[in-house]
Amino acid sequence: MQLKNLSIIASVFALAACGGKSEEAAPAADSTATAAPAAEAAAAPAAVTGATVEVKMIGDAQGYRFEPANITVKTGDAVKFVFISGGPHNVAFEGAALSADVKKQLDANFSSKMAELSSAMMLNAGESVTVSFAGIPAGQYAYNCTPHLAMGMKGVVTVQ
């Protein structure tokens, strides 16, 4: 019986300790603290000011590929990637070697996106995505089709 009474008393104390209100005031805000840095603003899409080069996205008995895979454009041109066969396809640029500014502008220049530097997935022949190279400096920009990367579906856009 004493053990039962002891258990009840311990339970009462535990409940009382948990259920009490705290009169402790919240710490005052430090007036010298700085606000968290604002998120970087997204870049605005840069309009195409030059030519549009078409690249076909193909999957067939010869393999998965971009035709042509390696192309040269000028700053201001665009590349239109067109799904021909063997999907699904997308276009994803490799961002690891890009500066933050270039990455942000290239990402903004997609006509449709799924993720950073990656177009939406295209499921039907005839669908396309256009990537503007306006505002993109001269250099080489490696890209691939994410679902078919292991099969060698990749290329390079050289901007002059």
Domains and CATH numbers, the chain: 52-159 (2.60.40.420)
Cβ-contact 112, 120 below 8 angstroms: yes
Cβ-contact 89, 147 below 8 angstroms: yes
Residues 25-76 have pLDDT tens digits of: 444 544 444 444 444 567 899 999 999 999 999 999 999 999 999 999 999 9
Closest to 78 measured CA to CA, from 98, 49, 45, 116: 49
DSSP H or E run through 141: strand 139-144
Beta bridge partners of 89: 122
Cβ-contact 119, 90 below 8 angstroms: yes
Residue 22 in tokens = 């705290």
Residues 4-32 have pLDDT tens digits of: 444 444 444 444 444 444 444 444 544 44
Closest to 145 measured CA to CA, from 127, 126, 111, 122: 122
Is the model more confident about 25 or about 132?
132
Structure pTM?
A: 0.74
